[in-house]
Each structure stands twice: as C-alpha cells, then as structure tokens.
Amino acid sequence: MPNRSLPGKMIDQRGFSARETEVWSSHMIRSGEIAEAIGMLSQGPAGRDGRREALVAHPSSQEPGIGLSPGIAVAFGVLLPGETTRPRRHNASSFTMALSGTAKVEVGDRSFDVTARDSWNTPGMRVETLTNTGPEPFTYVSYSNAPLLQKLEVFYEEFDPAVGDKAVAESEVATSFSTKIARAKEAAGGPVDVGESGAMLLPYEHLIDPDFVESHALLWRWEDLADHLGLVRSLTTGYTGRPLWCLYNPATGTRNGTTFSFFATMTAAGPNFTGPAHKHVSAAINYILDGSGYSIVDGVRLDWEAGDIMLSAPGWAPHGHATKGEGAVILTIQDHPLHIGMESLIWQEDIKGGPILTLGSQAGFETNLAEIREASDA
Ligand SMILES: [Fe+2]
C-alpha cells in the first residue's frame, strides 16, 4: 500500500474508494427489560440532575453520543412521588411521552399537566422541569438529538439557569428593542445579485440576526390524538402509504417535524396490515404501545408486542412492518426533518428498482389514497 500521508497530515485520496457505510443492525429492547430498568432506577438517590433516567445503548453505539441510532438518544425515566427535576436547558431538542403516573411539565413559559401517553416537545435552550404530581411513580420515554451534538463536540448544557432565563430575557429585550429602531441588517441592506446563476451576496448582519420562527413547547394530549386514530386505522392492506398521523409542530414548516430534528408519528394499524418494503436514510425507532406484529429489517424477522422498543429502520436498511391479528398502535421517531435540513433525505418507496428521491428537495412519492377514498365513496 502506498504511503498516503502528505504534509500537514493531509491524506492522498487518489486510488482509494470511499469508506463503505456500515449500516447498524436492528435492535430490540423488550418491555420486561424496560420495566426491570425502571425498577432499578427507582432505587437509591436521583442523579445530579434530579432525574432517574437510563439511556438505551445500541451495541454499535460509541461515545461521544450514546444512542439507539447514531443520532437519536432514547431515555426511559422515572420520577418518584414528590420528586422534581433540576431546571435544565441544553441545545438539544427533544420529544417526550408520558407512560404512567401524572406530572407537571414546565418548558420555558409553558406548563402542562400530563398523564399516560400525553406527549410534548422541548425546543433547544428552553428550561425544562418535570414534577411528579401524583401518588404513583411518573414514567416517561424521551428522544433527543443530543448524540449528534455530542459527536460534533458542541453539546451545551446548564442547570438551574437564573430565574427568568437571563439569556432568554435578554433576547426578548433585543426583540422588542429592534422594533423601535432600525435593525442593523436593515441598515446593511438585503441580498445582492451576483451574476446570472442566482448566486447572491449577504451582509454579515444577516448571519448574526437571521429571520427566525418562534418555537414553543406543544402538547399532544392522548385523548385529543386518540379521537383521530380511527381514520387511519380504517386503511387496510393495499393502501400504499402508512396508516399514521404525524404529530406536527408548525414551527418546523416544510420539514414536517415534531422537533427540528425528529418527527413523531402515531400509527394505528388494523389487523394483519402489511406495509410495503422500503428504505430511507432517516433512522426509525418504533415503540409499541398496543398490539403486536413483526418487521423484516435487512432480511431479519423481528416479532414485537406492546411495550417493546426497537431500532426498526437503521438508516438505509430495507424494512417493512406488518401487524398480527389485533392490529397495533406504534409511536415512531425518525430523524427525517434533520435530513431535510441537510438536503440528505434520500428515500426509496419501492426497493425493487423504484426511484431514489431526495425528499424535501424535489417532488416526492404518491400513494393510492385518492383511489381508495373514491372507491369507498362509490
Ligand atoms: Fe420506513
């Protein structure tokens, strides 16, 4: 092998093919293992953050940034009666679902009382505090993009930030101040055309004061969501899409996210629903709330039932899911919006030679929903 080292630790790339991507295996954690872990977390004192949480580690996951997929951390947590977490904020964003018990959830200036299966998002840098408000342990599952930030060595976290969030308060002052006097970027002017290709130039003031979308914690209360599940559950095998609702956060706009990195979807599939095999670079994690079924992931069959959680679609692994006789309700988290933001969300709906499209950057796929609706109306 020739010496590839060049001055300045540069590496000579001539004659070398790109590193082959190592697709992670699917990975399942059974409901009994989760219950046992929560039981152990309930013993002894809480952590320095006031939390009792366990991270689910995929066998291929390595520090920094332990996750069930390379970019998604999954934590199961419990708060004992009367316990409160330390107020915390970090630049990761998260999605959490309550599993049992009751709690008060405070995120930034919003506060929700939650019970089993209620879920919420926590935007980056918003202070979150959880308080168990009932006589039973409060348990939850939380998904965060912290592993990606940790791999980039840019994860920022702080506890007990000054009351009122000093930095947040200052930014609010800045926002109101800016309405009274001209903002620097207005003085600097807008984009300037350069040549005929559509290329432009932008002054520095735009980089440090980009247009922004207000991002808040939102609550998807289970009883509100459950009212809508019958509609998707009525879709049977033969429908070429997936019987689900996305828990949509409108701040994410065309990224169709629940957070800016993840979407959360609630699938309600009837008995023996079989979805088509497909693949995408976004990683998917399925948590089975009700029912049972099986998945074929990269040629391996995994049978699952209520309470199991699994990396059901490692990025770019072919996969398909089917329910058994009672159907299933499944919470899925996928880092789909993150990839739309990076223009990297390649997706193949038909793995037998169908097109590979870059979703969010071009027109995507269609389903036969219109035909199904027309047939049922006839
Ligand atoms: Fe999928």
What is the distance between the alpha carbons of residues 265 and 29, in angstroms, rounded to a whole number? 20
pLDDT (average), residues 256-260: 98
Q: Report if residue 309 sits inside a domain.
A: yes
Q: How confident is the model at residue 164 (pLDDT cuts 50, 70, 90)?
A: low
What is the count of structural domains for the chain?
A: 2
Question: Is 7 within a domain?
Answer: no
Final residue before a domain boundary, out of 141, 159, 177: 159
Averaged pLDDT for residues 135-144: 98
- Band (15; pLDDT cuts 50, 70, 90): confident
> What's the predicted TM-score (pTM) here?
0.94
In terms of domains, do 268 and 154 share one? no
- Indicate if 143 and 233 belong to the same structural domain: no
Q: Are residues 367 and 227 in the same domain?
A: yes
Cβ atoms 72, 147 nearer than 8 A: yes
**Hey, what are 332's tokens?**
């899925």
Contacts of 248 (CB under 8 A, 6+ apart): 256, 257, 258, 263
- Arithmetic mean of pLDDT over the chain: 94
pLDDT over 90 for what percent of the chain? Answer: 88
Do 231 and 356 belong to one domain?
yes
pLDDT over threshold 50, residue 257 = yes
Q: Is 153 in the same domain as 224?
A: no
How far apart CA 140 and CA 222 sit, in angstroms, is 14
Nearest to 94, CA basis, from 358, 361, 306, 335 = 335
- Is 305 part of a structural domain of the chain? yes
User: Ligand 1 centre and the CA of 55: distance in Å?
Assistant: 23
Look at residue 334 and tell me if it is in a domain: yes
User: Do 366 and 239 fall into the same domain?
Assistant: yes
Task: Identify the CA nearest to 266 among candidates 258, 277, 274.
Answer: 258
Residue at 316 is within a domain? yes
For residue range 18-43, what is the model confidence (pLDDT) as tens digits? 888 899 999 999 999 999 999 999 99
- 244 shares its domain with 108: no
C-alpha 281 to ligand 1 mean position (Å): 9
Question: Does 145 share its domain with 255?
Answer: no
Report the separation in Å between the CA atom of 185 and the middle of ligand 1, taken as the mean of its atom positions.
Answer: 42
Domain boundary among 135, 159, 183: 159
Give the end-to-end CA distance of the chain in Å, rounded to a whole number: 69
CA of 313 to the centre of ligand 1 (A): 6
Same domain, 329 and 240: yes
Distance 314 CA to ligand 1 centre (A): 9
By three-state DSSP, how is residue 300 classified? strand
Q: Measured in angstroms, how far is the CA atom of residue 346 from the centroid of ligand 1?
A: 12
**Phi-psi category of 145—alpha, beta or left, where left has phi over 0 and alpha has psi -120 to 50?**
alpha
Q: Which tens digits make up the pLDDT trace of 299-348?
A: 999 999 999 999 999 999 999 999 999 999 999 999 999 999 999 999 99
Domain shared by 289 and 150, yes or no: no
| Per-residue pLDDT at 239 exceeds 80 | yes
In a domain, 173, yes or no: no
Strand partners, 90: 157
Average pLDDT over residues 248-276: 97
Q: Please tell me the distance between residue 173's alpha carbon and the centre of ligand 1 in angstroms.
A: 44
Of all helices (H) and strands (E), which one includes residue 334? Answer: strand 319-334
Q: Do 147 and 224 sit in the same domain of this protein?
A: no
3-state secondary structure of 369: helix
Contact 180, 82 (CB under 8 A): no
Ligand 1 centroid to Cα of residue 175, in Å, is 41
d(CA 77, CA 75): 6
Assess whether pLDDT exceeds 90 at residue 270: yes
Cis peptide before 59 (omega within 30 of 0): no
- What single letter denotes the amino acid at residue 65? G
CA distances from 368 to 42, 127, 228, 269 (A): 48, 43, 20, 17
How close is the Cα of 300 to the center of ligand 1, in Å? 15
Q: What is the CATH number of the domain that holds 93?
A: 2.60.120.10
For the chain, give the percent of residues with pLDDT over 70: 94
Q: Which two tokens stand for residue 186?
A: 């207005």
Asked, for residue 302, whether it belongs to a domain, the answer is yes
Ligand 1 centre distance from Cα of residue 48 (Å): 37
CA 183 – ligand 1 centroid, Å: 44
CA of 285 to the centre of ligand 1 (A): 10
Lowest mean pLDDT among 101-110, 126-135, 152-161, 164-173: 164-173
Question: What range defines the domain where residue 97 resides?
Answer: 27-159
Report the pLDDT averaged over residues 137-162: 97
Q: Are residues 257 and 353 in the same domain?
A: yes
For 95-145, give the DSSP string: EEEEEES-EEEEETTEEEEE-TT-EEEE-TT--EEEEE-SSS-EEEEEEES
Instruction: Decide if 106 contacts 114 (C-beta within 8 A).
Output: no
Among the three residues 110, 141, 159, which one is the final residue of a domain in this structure? 159
Planar angle of CA 243, 245, 246, nearest 5 degrees: 130
Report the separation in Å between the CA atom of 214 and the middle of ligand 1, taken as the mean of its atom positions: 30
The candidate with the shortest Cα–Cα distance to 101, out of 117, 84, 121, 86, is 117
Distance 153 CA to ligand 1 centre (A): 29
| Ligand 1: centre distance to CA 280 (Å) | 7
The torsion angles phi and psi of 150, rounded to 5 degrees, stand at -65, -35
Q: How many Å apart are CA 110 and CA 79, to the nearest integer?
A: 20
Is 166 a member of any domain?
Answer: no
pLDDT tens string 168-216:
555 544 555 555 577 899 999 999 999 999 999 999 999 999 999 999 9
Per-residue DSSP letter, 208: S
